[in-house]
Structure formats: C-alpha cells, structure tokens
C-alpha cells in the first residue's frame, strides 16, 4: 500500500519535536529540583521527578494515588488511600512550591511544568518568547498645535501626581510611624516572603463502630438510623456494659479541638490584618522539611508533637505524670501551674504558654501558642493577636524585647467551656 510522503514527513517532524520537548522538560525539571523552592524538600523532589518522568515515558496509568504512594513513599501496594493522605498532602505541597518557583524564575524558563489540582498527571507548556518591539526613533516634524497639547498633557500629569502624593502621604506617614507592640511581636515572620504556616494538631479520634449503633438500635427501634443522628447524638450505652475493642474505630477525618480551631482563626485573622499571608496545616500535613522553609505558628501542646519538641529545653515546659498535666518553671522545682477543676471535674482555670523563638531548630522563627487544655491554648492565641495585651507586655518588657526570644505564661478563667481574657503570670526574655 502506498504511503503519503506528506504524512510520513509530518510524523517525522512531530517525533523530532517531541524529542526536543522532552529535553526541554528535563532541563526545566533539573532547574526546578535545584531551586530554593525544592532544594530542601526531598519528598517534593522525589514526587515531582517521579510524575514528570512517567509522563514523559507515556505511563500515565502509573500516576495514580496508590501507585505513587507505593513507589515514592514505600507504602504497601494495597494500602488504604483513604486512611493515609501522604500522596494528596505531598501533591499540594508540590503545587505550592511550583507556584513559588515560577513566581521567582518564570522569565528564565522556556517550558512550564504544572501539576493541576485534581490529578497527579503533570502538564508541560511552552512559554512564548517575547520579541523586542521596534521603536521608530525618527523625530516628528514640529507641529505648533501638537506642542500645545503636549503642554496641556504634562500639566494634567503633574496635577494628578500632586493629588496622588497628597492622598498617599497619610499612608507613608503611618508606615514611617513607630511599629506597634503587635507589629513588634510579629516582626520576625516578616523577615521572609514565605507565608506563615499555622499548624493545628489533630488528635486521634475514636468512635463507636456501625455494628455497635445497629446493636443498640435493635433494642431501641427507630434510633440511630441515619449518619446525622450518629454524628450529632451520643450513644447512651449502659456504663456497666462491656464492649469489645473491635467495636471502637478510629476516624482519621475527625479530631480537631474547638479551642485549637479558635486559636488558629484568631492568629490567621491577625496576620491578615497586618498583610502577612498564612496557610493552615492540620495534623501530619506539616513536615519538618516544610517548617524549615517558612515561619510557623504551632497550636496546642500535648497534642502537637512540634510544640513539645521545640519547647522541651526551654524555661517554661509542659509536663505530665499519671494523667495529670501541668506547666513547669524549670528554674524552680516547686513552680508549677495546674488546671483548677470545678465540682463536676470541669476545667474552670487553665494556663497557657506563648513562646517566640527567633531562630528555632527549623532555621526560621517559630511561635507556639499552647495550653494545658484547649481554653489555655485559646487564651494564648488571644494574647498574641490582641494589641491591648501586647501593649501591656511592652510597657514592662526590657529594651529591645522585639529582638529577643520570649516566653509568657498566661492564666484564664473558663466560662461555658470558653477562655476569658488572658492574664500574664510569668515572663522570660533572652
């Protein structure tokens, strides 16, 4: 059968173009992996390299969540992706780092590598080359009416510039004014263009299994028939009834503590008012590699491993024994702060610690807001987001406190499970 030479020529040309594209993509991948956005994150480099090479090799079928989890993160081949979000979390991290890379280096790239949301298959795009614009430098013939219009145009521009200067001057004056105590406290997070990571803990949550609900419903017809009931009503089992461990399940999608959530919102809102972007990280979403690239706010104490690790050798530390939790001043063996309980064993007085480390173990500034229980955490967040509390602290702080590490112990009364305004009981600067 005869073959159309035009078709053969077109196929050869396309094959050559694909080869050139492949080399361009691989060069761009190497630049990305060696850039500041990716250099310190081994997982992000492994993830991006894996998906790009398989896409170039035409193996899109391997770019599935379970396959990536097994090949890149060494998960079992049959692991349950719903219980382990490592691939989804890392994909989001790679997208963020790619955005950062192209924000800084887009002009030096011929090809752009993207990882669209909702897929693990990368896309490659050519970046068009900007051609220089020829400018005609020949002088225009002198025209008297044209000169008059030019004079009017320049006059209008001058008037607009004057008006703009008058409008902007109050803002310039405000920028030149002495920073407020709130600005001074948060000043370290502005030393980098990276957003602040607000890291929320997610404790393990146990709930009754569906079979336990069904067992109860058999003896109480009409109860717990829907998920709405099961999520919003307690299961009133007999306190003396024995259940098996298989009747209790872990629920990885649940587990946030209300006090921690309130704290995160307070801090994100305060940062937003100051013009500093923030990103929320929940549970194991925040890796040490990520903390090494951004300033961070750590929410919670005993439920947040990063807080406990970062503050374990400081003056004010969180300790526990036999189920009892407290804050300890390590310079004084007898100086401890415990929660106070009411007649029904509810917390009525709680304590929290605010810690600011200018150069932490991550290499970036870290701020921890943590309480013995959730109200203490919320009170600590109130303290670092409230101008009035930091202004009071600044009045008694040593000179240059804004450039020092610090810890502040706060006390709060708990009313209707909520934290009242914080009261400072101890401060340490170094």
pLDDT value of residue 73: 87
Query: What is the rounded average pLDDT of the residues 4-12?
Result: 38
Q: In this model, does residue 14 exceed pLDDT 50? A: no
- Dist. CA 202–CA 280, nearest whole Å: 12
296-299 and 423-429 as β-strands: parallel, antiparallel, unpaired?
unpaired
Of 351, 385, 386, 387, the residue nearest 370 (C-alpha): 351
Which residues are CB-neighbours of 237 under 8 A, at least 6 positions away? 216, 243
pLDDT value of residue 174: 42
Are 108 and 187 within one domain? no
**Maximum pairwise Cα distance, the chain:** 103
Are 264 and 301 within one domain? yes
Are 298 and 363 within one domain? yes
Are 390 and 372 within one domain? yes
| Residues written for the chain | 430
| Residue 317 within a domain | yes
Share of the chain above pLDDT 70, in %: 83
| Residue 293 within a domain | yes
Q: Which two tokens stand for residue 428?
A: 């340490």
Q: CA angle at residue 284 from 283 to 286, to 5 degrees?
A: 100
Are 299 and 389 within one domain? yes
Q: In this model, does residue 351 exceed pLDDT 70? A: yes
Q: Which two tokens stand for residue 217?
A: 């419903």
Bigger pLDDT: 182 vs 5: 182
pLDDT value of residue 17: 36
Query: What is the rounded average pLDDT of the residues 94-102?
Result: 87
Query: What is the rounded average pLDDT of the residues 274-299?
Result: 85
Domain boundary among 109, 126, 143: 126
The DSSP call for residue 318 is E
Are 199 and 217 within one domain? no
Of 75, 70, 29, the residue nearest 48 (C-alpha): 29
pLDDT value of residue 166: 57
Q: In this model, does residue 71 exceed pLDDT 50? A: yes
Instruction: Name the average pLDDT for the chain.
Output: 83
Which residues are CB-neighbours of 120 under 8 A, at least 6 positions away? 51, 63, 64, 65, 68, 87, 91
Are 194 and 264 within one domain? yes
| Residue 1 within a domain | no
pLDDT value of residue 216: 87
pLDDT value of residue 162: 64
pLDDT value of residue 256: 84
Q: Report yes or no: 307 and 353 within 8 Å, Cβ to Cβ.
A: no
Query: What is the rounded average pLDDT of the residues 359-384?
Result: 92
Share of the chain above pLDDT 90, in %: 42
Query: What is the rounded average pLDDT of the residues 132-155?
Result: 56
| Residue 155 within a domain | no
Query: What is the rounded average pLDDT of the residues 173-181?
Result: 65
Position 142 confidence tier, pLDDT thresholds 50, 70, 90: low
Domain boundary among 104, 126, 148: 126
pLDDT value of residue 379: 94
Are 228 and 324 within one domain? no
The strand pairing partners of 352, in sequence order, are 371, 410
User: Domain count of the chain?
Assistant: 3
- Dist. CA 316–CA 202, nearest whole Å: 23
pLDDT digits (tens, 9 = 90+) for 386-411: 999 999 999 999 999 999 999 999 99
pLDDT value of residue 191: 83
pLDDT value of residue 171: 45
- Global pTM exceeds 0.75: no
pLDDT value of residue 135: 46
Bigger pLDDT: 375 vs 80: 375
Of 78, 112, 283, the residue nearest 199 (C-alpha): 283
The strand pairing partners of 316, in sequence order, are 329
Q: In this model, does residue 255 exceed pLDDT 90? A: no
Bigger pLDDT: 35 vs 150: 35
| Residue 314 within a domain | yes
pLDDT value of residue 133: 47
pLDDT value of residue 4: 42
Are 241 and 121 within one domain? no
Position 181 confidence tier, pLDDT thresholds 50, 70, 90: very high
| Residue 141 within a domain | no
Position 20 confidence tier, pLDDT thresholds 50, 70, 90: low
Out of 74-83, 214-223, 413-422, which region has the weakest mean confidence (pLDDT)?
A: 74-83
pLDDT value of residue 390: 94
Are 198 and 338 within one domain? yes
pLDDT value of residue 371: 96
Are 308 and 397 within one domain? yes
Q: In this model, does residue 156 exceed pLDDT 70? A: no
- Dist. CA 246–CA 236, nearest whole Å: 18
Radius of gyration (C-alpha) of the chain in whole angstroms:
30
Residues spanned by the domain of 101: 12-126
Position 206 confidence tier, pLDDT thresholds 50, 70, 90: confident
Are 282 and 307 within one domain? yes
Bigger pLDDT: 158 vs 315: 315
pLDDT value of residue 12: 36
| Residue 140 within a domain | no
| Residue 150 within a domain | no
């Amino acid at each position: 059968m005869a073959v159309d030479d035009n078709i053969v020529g077109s196929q050869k040309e396309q094959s050559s173009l694909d080869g050139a594209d492949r080399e361009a993509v691989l060069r761009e991948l190497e630049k990305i992996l060696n850039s500041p956005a990716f250099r310190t994150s081994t997982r992000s480099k492994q993830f991006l390299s894996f998906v790009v090479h398989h896409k170039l090799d035409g193996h899109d079928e391997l770019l599935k969540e379970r396959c990536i989890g097994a090949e890149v993160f060494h998960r079992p081949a049959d692991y349950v992706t719903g219980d382990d979000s490592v691939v989804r979390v890392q994909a989001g991290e790679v997208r963020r780092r790619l955005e950062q890379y192209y924000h800084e280096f887009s002009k030096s790239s011929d090809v752009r590598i993207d990882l669209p949301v909702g897929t693990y298959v990368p896309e490659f795009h050519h970046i068009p080359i900007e051609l220089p614009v020829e400018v005609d430098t020949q002088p225009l013939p002198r025209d008297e009416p044209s000169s008059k219009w030019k004079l009017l145009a320049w006059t209008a521009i001058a008037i607009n510039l004057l008006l703009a200067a008058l409008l902007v001057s109050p803002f310039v004056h405000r920028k030149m004014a002495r920073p407020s105590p709130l600005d001074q406290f948060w000043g370290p997070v502005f030393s980098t263009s990276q957003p602040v990571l607000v890291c929320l803990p997610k404790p393990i949550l146990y709930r009754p299994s569906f079979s336990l609900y069904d067992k109860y419903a058999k003896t109480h017809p009409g109860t717990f028939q829907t998920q709405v009931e099961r999520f919003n009503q307690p299961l009133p089992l007999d306190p003396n009834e024995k259940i098996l461990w298989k009747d209790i399940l872990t629920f990885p999608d649940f587990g946030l503590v209300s006090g921690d959530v309130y704290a995160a919102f307070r801090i994100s809102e305060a940062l937003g008012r100051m013009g500093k972007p923030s990103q929320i990280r929940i549970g194991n979403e925040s890796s040490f590699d990520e903390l090494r690239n951004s300033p961070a706010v750590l929410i919670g104490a005993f439920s947040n491993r990063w807080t406990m690790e970062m503050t374990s050798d400081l003056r004010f530390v969180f300790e526990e024994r036999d189920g009892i939790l407290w804050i300890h001043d390590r310079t004084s063996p007898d100086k401890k702060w415990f929660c106070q309980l009411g007649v029904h064993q509810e917390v009525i007085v709680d304590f929290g610690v605010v810690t600011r480390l200018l150069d932490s173990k991550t290499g970036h500034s870290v701020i921890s807001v943590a309480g013995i229980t959730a109200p203490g955490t919320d009170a600590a967040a109130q303290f670092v987001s409230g101008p009035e509390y930091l202004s009071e602290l600044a009045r008694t702080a040593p000179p240059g406190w804004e450039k020092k590490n610090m810890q502040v112990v706060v006390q709060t009364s708990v009313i209707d499970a909520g934290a009242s305004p914080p009261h400072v009981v101890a401060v340490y600067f170094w």
